[in-house]
Amino acid sequence: MIQRQFGVWVLMFAVALTGCDIRRPDPLPSLVGAWRSTVEFTSGPFAAVKDLEFMYVFNAGGTMTESSNYDGAPPVPPAYGVWHSVGENQFEARYEYFATAAPPNLDELSNGGGWLPAGRGVLVERITIAPDKQSYTSTIHYDAFDLRGKPVEGGGEAGGRAVRIGM
């Protein structure tokens, strides 16, 4: 009796799997994960910054977050954006951050004022993953916008070199 019930369960399981695709899903794109990058601007106001670093997280769903070692000077939040594949081991990311303006004087900080909104920055980065998928190089185009979304001076071009953050 037990063998017969077991046989019925095996048969029901086999029927349930009929037509199911049990292959492994496609592997995640090689960009997915956390990265640390050195960035050097060759034009624009950030060209004077020689120790700029970005940290990125590229999510499997096509969203990403970026933060820099200068997010506190002046205080700005991280950048948020999207990315997509443009070829084998080639990607494009577009991310934005809110810019802030310095208070007119130090008294503003103690009176409840502070670093108020000043616009936003938009970065478009073209990324090429190395064959070992542990590093990449990139080119970055940066545009600055005022509070109304109109372009302002302050854009620039940069190059980046990143390594994957791992265990």
pLDDT at 24: 47
- For 22, 64, 66, 107, the CA distances from 94, given in Å and listed in that order, are 35, 9, 10, 37
pLDDT at 25: 52
pLDDT at 9: 45
Residue 4: HSE in the Cβ half-sphere, 13 Å Cα cutoff:
1
Whether the model clears a pTM of 0.85, i.e. scores above it, the answer is: no
Low-confidence ranges of the chain (pLDDT < 50): 6, 8-18, 20, 24
Identity of the residue numbered 115: W
Q: Which domains does the chain have, with CATH numbers?
A: 29-164 (2.40.160)
pLDDT at 3: 56
13 three-class SS: helix
pLDDT at 11: 41
Residues in the chain: 167
pLDDT at 42: 97
pLDDT at 49: 94
Percent helix, strand, coil in the chain (nearest 5)? 15, 50, 35
pLDDT at 84: 97
Chain position carrying tokens 């000077």: 73
